[in-house]
Amino acid sequence: MASTGEDQFNGRWDITVKGENTPRAWWLEVSGAGSENVKGKFVGAPGGQIDDIHTLSIYDSELRFTLDKHYRQVPNQNQHPSPRDPRSSTQKGLYYARLDQGKLKGTFEVEGDPGTYLEWIGVRAPAIADKDDGTWKRGEGVNLFDGKDMAGWSMIGPSHIPWSVKQGMATAGPGAADIVTDRKFWNFVLHVEFRLGVGGTSGIGLRGRYEVQIADDIGRPPSVFSNGAVYGRIAPVINASRDPGEWQTFDIRLVGRQVTVSVNGVRVIDRQTIEGLTPIAIDANEGDPGPILLQGDHGTVEFRKVVLYPLTKTP
């Protein structure tokens, strides 16, 4: 029988990972705590999807769960496990957490490798009242890329390879750093024009939390990993991709947690609710404005327009 108070672990948690050179946010959902049917879902590194937690328990007021994934044996605790490292193999990740004044205070390490030890703090995902109900007015456009340089953007992540600007295009070659706007935004419409190389992928991080996937996947059935998907969470209703090498457009509308995505003029997601963070997340504070992130480490991608239109509530 479950102990009294275990149900306090239930809910959705936005997690900030401490002590890393690169900002990183995770997400955890726990349900059934306080009963015999406790279960969970997790978004974290190494990530690429929402993981169902098959081994989760509460013992002596401590939440414990494990995941079998391709963690890297990390020699330095400031480095993050990465599934792309050639030394990766399936290992057991150990996650422990206790409640402390309404927050989850937790630790992580790969079993048998104390050098991977990390600490993390989880807060309850906030309720966000904003809905895309037709009462939002589009403001004047903010040009986030002027075709001349990368002013207003900063590199993040382990890569130090910068983006280049030529002939009015911002280009990320293989291995380039992710970049993020210095400014932060709340509700908005984002217009992006991009071009992918063959087999390339990239992504756009909304508020630094929710990724809209960019992928060379013309002709494939839509999925939660398709071009225009909210990565790992919401699939487009149709694949509206163009061939690699052709210019494509995204028009993304975000109000609260409700998102609408049009790909090449075709609405593929219509006012769907994003239930929580995606693996791109660098900012766990879901109730606050956040930056726009462009992913640059998955092949060649070029951008020629990135324009944001803030949305404000009409009287």
Cα atoms in the 13 Å half-sphere on the side-chain side of 219: 2
Pick from 87-96, 125-134, 150-159, 294-303: least confident? 87-96
Please answer whether residues 301 and 197 qualify as being in contact, where contact means their C-beta atoms are separated by less than 8 angstroms. yes
DSSP string, 66-101: EEEEEE---SSTTSPP-TTSTT-EEEEEEEEEEEET
pLDDT of residue 78: 33
| CA separation for the pair 71, 118 (Å, rounded) | 13
Could you tell me which of 210, 216, 213 has the C-alpha nearest to residue 292?
A: 210
Of the chain, the percentage scoring pLDDT greater than 90 comes to 78
Of the chain, the percentage scoring pLDDT greater than 70 comes to 93
pLDDT of residue 81: 42
Compare 45 and 250 and report the one with higher pLDDT. Answer: 250
pLDDT band (50, 70, 90) for residue 3: low
Q: What is the mean pLDDT of residues 128-138?
A: 96
Q: What is the mean pLDDT of residues 139-145?
A: 97
pTM listed for this prediction = 0.90
Cα atoms in the 13 Å half-sphere on the side-chain side of 112: 6
| CA separation for the pair 264, 259 (Å, rounded) | 16
pLDDT band (50, 70, 90) for residue 2: very low
Q: What is the pLDDT of residues 8-57, one digit of tens each?
A: 999 999 999 997 777 889 999 999 999 989 999 999 977 778 999 989 99
* C-alpha distance from residue 86 to each of 72, 81, 82, 158, 288 (Å): 9, 12, 9, 16, 37
Q: Which residues have a Cβ under 8 Å from the Cβ of 245 and sit 6 or more positions away?
A: 195, 196, 197, 198
Q: What is the mean pLDDT of residues 271-275?
A: 98
| Average pLDDT over the chain, rounded to an integer | 91
Using the predicted structure, report yes or no on whether residue 85 has a pLDDT greater than 70: no
The fold of the 136-313 domain, in CATH, is Jelly Rolls (2.60.120)
Q: Are strands 169-172 and 301-313 parallel, antiparallel or unpaired?
A: antiparallel
Q: What is the pLDDT of residues 181-203, one digit of tens each?
A: 999 999 999 999 999 999 999 99
Beta bridge partners of 107: 96, 119
pLDDT of residue 72: 62
| CA separation for the pair 206, 280 (Å, rounded) | 9
| CA separation for the pair 196, 287 (Å, rounded) | 32
Compare 68 and 49 and report the one with higher pLDDT. Answer: 68
pLDDT of residue 83: 38
Give the chain's count of helices (H) and strands (E). 0, 23
What ranges do the domains of the chain cover? 6-124, 136-313
The fold of the 6-124 domain, in CATH, is Lipocalin (2.40.128)
Sign of the dihedral through C-alpha 127, 183, 118, 43: positive
pLDDT of residue 297: 77
pLDDT of residue 208: 97
Using the predicted structure, report yes or no on whether residue 74 has a pLDDT greater than 60: no
